[in-house]
Structure 1
Amino acid sequence: MLTVGDKFPAFKLKATVSIENLDKAFAEISNDSYKGKWLCVFFYPKDFTFVCPTEIKGFADLNAQFADRDCQVLAGSTDSEFVHLAWRKDHKDLRDLPFPMLADINKDLSRELGILDAEGVAKRATFLVDPQGVIRFAYVTDGSVGRNPQEVLRVLDALQTDELCPCNWQQGEATLKVA
């Protein structure tokens, strides 16, 4: 699995961006789409599952806070953009998502990241990528355990200080100073 210090792979994927109408439902998203921004890219195993929508909603609830930090959130799985669209239309918590859902149907990005499981679906993995395309945070949980979007935001805050941050540090608190 790629980890902290590795370059995030180049990608170009179809994404579901809206459920308004088919003319505006899909877009092509690449690593160049958000040049100069931080990225929070989180993968989940499958659409139409149980833990995944709770996480997606959790990231959606914090999307404005990520945006305030110049960070674009991207969700992704190995499902197609059409399955993403159907799931968003079907699940009330996913209808108004403020970020794209990447469709890694060829599994190229998941494979390059090293997050494909034995069944060929993406693991529950999260990456914070700096504006230079370098992974600064990598986080994977078991498929049965949802991740904590608030913790991902806390880590983003810490990374953006370029300082030493102690355990449980929160934005606005003092950082550590080397004597």
Structure 2
Amino acid sequence: MGIIGSSIKPFKNTAFQAGKDFYDVTEADIAGKWAVFFFYPADFTFVCPTELEDLADQYATLQGMGVEVFGVSTDTHFCHKAWHDTSEKIAKCTYAFLGDQNHDLSNNFGVLRDGVGLADRATFVVDPDGVIQVMEITPEGVGRNAAELVRKIKAAKYWREHPGQVCPAKWEEGAETLAPSLDLVGKL
């Protein structure tokens, strides 16, 4: 797909966030910050609330890491509020939900399903320069794991802050990293 390493495109979407008035979010609002765009097909569905609740369980950790989180579907911000007010699982979510009824954000990230009008189940991690560093797309029936998302963000942040080092499979914060070199070729 060629999206890793690309910059996010300009956008303006209205957000619902518990305890706040509706507000607009643009690419300028995330400049200089890490951000997660957590796309899901639709409000009032089945797998989506389980994923969003799981993400809510990791939200304090992500905030502590300086990461902004945005749940995104092609529903309106009004629909997001209604879902928050009626679903026990979604009521736990205190991060922002972006309405994308015009499909601008879903198209910008390349996750709008042709002819359906819904976003794929997709996650994007954007670095402080607005560059997409991590992406995950799963089929509609397969939910994501927010703890694994946290691990990937920690690895992406480490990699950004430690040039010349890479994080191997299952890397956890504090574990050894690798320094790619000719000496490692064929020895791993």
Smaller-chain TM-score bracket: over 0.9
Match in the other structure for 1:105: 101
2:73 is aligned with what amino acid? S
Instruction: Say which SS state the counterpart of residue 128 (structure 1) adopts.
Output: strand
Q: Is the 8 A contact 1:2 1:113 kept in 2?
A: no
Residues 126-137 of structure 1 mapped to structure 2, 5 A cutoff = 126-137=123-134
Counterpart selection for 2:166 from 146, 164, 167: 164
Q: 1:2 and 1:177 mapped to 2: Cα distance?
A: 25
1:89 is aligned with what amino acid? D
Relative to its length, the structure with more helix (as a share) is 2
Q: Is the 8 A contact 1:164 1:177 kept in 2?
A: yes
Check 1:105–1:2 CA distance in 2 against 1; reply closer, same or farther (3 A cut). Answer: farther
Match in the other structure for 1:16: 16
**Are positions 1:175 and 2:173 aligned together?**
no
Match in the other structure for 1:87: 83
Match in the other structure for 1:145: 142
Counterpart selection for 2:45 from 21, 43, 49: 49
Check 1:88–1:133 CA distance in 2 against 1; reply closer, same or farther (3 A cut). Answer: same
Q: Is the 8 A contact 1:51 1:145 kept in 2?
A: yes
RMSD: 1.3
Q: Kindly report structure 1 stretches of 4+ aligned residues shifted beyond 6 Å.
A: none
Identity of matched residues, %: 39
Question: Comparing 123-132 with 143-152, which one deviates more in the overlay?
Answer: 143-152
Q: Is the 8 A contact 1:14 1:103 kept in 2?
A: yes
Matched pairs, number: 175
Q: Is the 8 A contact 1:25 1:85 kept in 2?
A: no
Max Rg structure = 2
Unaligned 5+ segments in structure 1 are none
